[in-house]
Amino acid sequence: MKHVYLIGGPMGIGKSTICNQLNQDLDHSVFLDGDWCWNMDPFIVNQDTKNMVLDNITHCLNNFIHTPGIENIIFCWVMHKQDIIDQIIQKLDTEGVDIHFVKKKNS
């Protein structure tokens, strides 16, 4: 059984720190950060770039889902709206995969 951990929350709350620790603690794991798909210059936010980023994210997640030997896929991103989470999950190949969503809140 594969596990996908989606870690969401506001910027600067410690998502990456938690994901790095999970990556060390869980066997056969990989850590991906959604911000890596936005690292462009100039930074442009429009419908085309939003669609491209979601496509890149789900493509990467699905590649790890299909890779033998990878059991735990840890992904963090702001994911501040439910429709972002829904779009990601809708595009994932979820057969034999447990999806876990954790939203980290301000302390």
**CATH at residue 85:** 3.40.50.300
In the chain, the percentage of residues whose pLDDT exceeds 70 is 97
CA angle 2, 5, 9 (to 5 degrees): 170
- Predicted confidence (pLDDT) at residue 96 exceeds the cutoff of 90: yes
Q: What is the pTM of this model?
A: 0.91
Domain assignment of residue 25, given as a range: 2-103
The structural domain count of the chain equals: 1
More confident residue, 6 or 80: 6
Name the band, by pLDDT with cuts 50, 70 and 90, for residue 47: very high
Name the band, by pLDDT with cuts 50, 70 and 90, for residue 104: low
